[in-house]
Chain A
Amino acid sequence: MPTFTQDAIATKKKKQIELVGVDLYIITDKGIPQFADGEFGPFKCEFISNRGTKVWPGFVSPDLLMVNWYRCRFMATKPIKDHEVADFLVQLSKKWEWSAAQKLWNYDGEAGYSKAY
């Protein structure tokens, strides 16, 4: 008789995975990071959030508490491979200090990442 663990493993479903971007966590005391159009090839900054609140583009309350840690979402403007993410990080490291990068994938065509408020 299968165990609960074996039953659970048997329910796993493989999904079609597509790499579509990167969330990059930048540390800076100089305010909201700014990136030039085309600065990072196929990676275009879609939004920046701080403590989960979107701070670019659009309205930012002057009262908003911000810390020196920004989530910058870079979406690919064309189909990309892993090595392009590595190249992107090398380029970005020349200007910015970052704490972590999280690849963004679609699973069976659905986003596997949350939006920012």
Chain B
Amino acid sequence: MATHVVTMIPGEGTGPEICEAVRMVIDASGVDIKWEYEDIGLDCLEKHGTLLPEKTIQSIAKNKVALKGPTTTPIGTGHKSANVTLRKVFDLYANVRPVRLIPALKRPWDKLDIINFRENTEDSYAAIEHMVSDEVAQCLKVITWPGSYRIADFALKWARDNGRKKVYCVHKANIMKMTDGLFLEAFREAAKKYPDIETGDIIVDNCSMQLVRNPGQFDCLVLPNLYGDILTDLCAGLMGGLGFAPGANVGDNCAIFEAVHGSAPKYAGQKKVNPSAVLISGIMMLRWLGEKEAADRIEKAMYAVLEEGKTVTYDVGGTAKTDEYAKAIIDKMRKTAN
């Protein structure tokens, strides 16, 4: 019996080829994982009449951990995003998005090592929208005390468990005094449990400006859903783009690890897309599963392959295919082990 059973959701577009490359690397690390493949997205809509089949939900519910490739969200149609639905169904309230300098990517920062904790289930993503007249659309921004407290508590605990020193709450409570005010108040309340962590707050517009001027000053950030959505992508840009930006959606009993980039359908089947974001998400997953040694081994090999620059994908100046890059990482792992 495998040590771990993980639901693998390859997703759409370039997702399947990326996830196959990532599976090869993770399996080569020696971790004993049984993968359960499940579907999601637009293809499912055609096949099963839903973006998120019940079978996929049941697999995640059973295994409590999943690795997911990118999916496509239809814009301006009546269909709800499969990603958002997954977060809602499993109450994956914490979107964890770390960004750090990758040695091979030349960036203008001396230091970049931020963990963003985005509240993932409420705010203006509560899907409460109305046309309140034929000239006026309205969206309710829903911020709750327990929803705000638990993301703050989660972030502060993660920071403590991982040796981080500083957690700041990002908000716009100077204008949205009720909603963002409640988010900030809950953060301050949760912070009382962590006197060993330096805590503070920063207004979202100032935070944006500070991030692009001097990202090295930040350690961990806790954000409501909308600001988190925007600033985590900004942070991915600081790092070098979405191609290297991992993510995890975590609840009290379940976690889904996924890249944050899109499915790039125009490149589907060409095996040219960089799988690093899903691979780094997979590394996060291995650490979540307690497989720290394997995670470190993959990460080290990936950095080495990127540093050499010989077998890398087009977005970082190479010509390697997705699977060739994965095989180079596997070779590097094996050489290091020998």
Contact = CB atoms under 8 A, between A and B. Distances in A.
Given A17-B134, A51-B147, A65 B93 contact: yes
A64 interface: yes
Interface stretch (A34-42, A81-89, A90-98, A102-110): A102-110
Nearest to B80: A117
Interface in A1-45: 12-15, 17, 23
Contacts of B252: 63
A61 B87 CA distance: 11
Interface string B137-149: 0000010111100
Q: Which of B80, B128, B147 has the most CB of A within 10 A?
A: B128
Contact of A114 (B85, B127, B251): B127
Contacts of B147: 51, 65, 67
Interface in B225-278: 251-254
Interface string B73-108: 000001010001100111101000000000000000
Nearest to A108: B134
A49 B84 CA distance: 15
Interface residues of A, number: 27
B335 interface: no
A115 B125 contact: no
B130 interface: yes
Interface in B146-191: 146-147, 150
A80 interface: no
Interface string B194-215: 0000000000000000000000
B129 A114 contact: yes
B142 A112 contact: no
Contacts of B150: 65
Contacts of A13: 134
B304 interface: no
A75 to B, nearest CB: 14
A108 B22 CA distance: 48
A52 B150 CA distance: 17
A51 B144 contact: yes
B122 interface: yes
A27 to B, nearest CB: 13
Contact of B131 (A12, A51, A105): A105
Nearest to A105: B131
A31 to B, nearest CB: 16
B84 A65 contact: no
B135 interface: yes
Contacts of B146: 65, 67
Contact of B251 (A15, A63, A113): A63
A61 B254 CA distance: 11
A113 B128 CA distance: 8
A61 B91 contact: yes
A62 B90 CA distance: 9
Contacts of A59: 89
Interface string A44-76: 000001011100000101011101000100000
Contact of A112 (B126, B130, B253): B130
Nearest to B78: A115
Nearest to B84: A117
Contacts of A61: 89-91
Interface of A: 12-15, 17, 23, 49, 51-53, 59, 61, 63-65, 67, 71, 102, 104-105, 107, 112-117
Given A52-B142, A117-B127, 6 more contacts: A23-B130, A52-B128, A65-B91, A65-B121, A117-B85, A117-B88
12 contacts: A15-B134, A52-B128, A53-B121, A59-B89, A61-B89, A63-B254, A65-B144, A102-B130, A113-B130, A113-B131, A115-B78, A116-B127
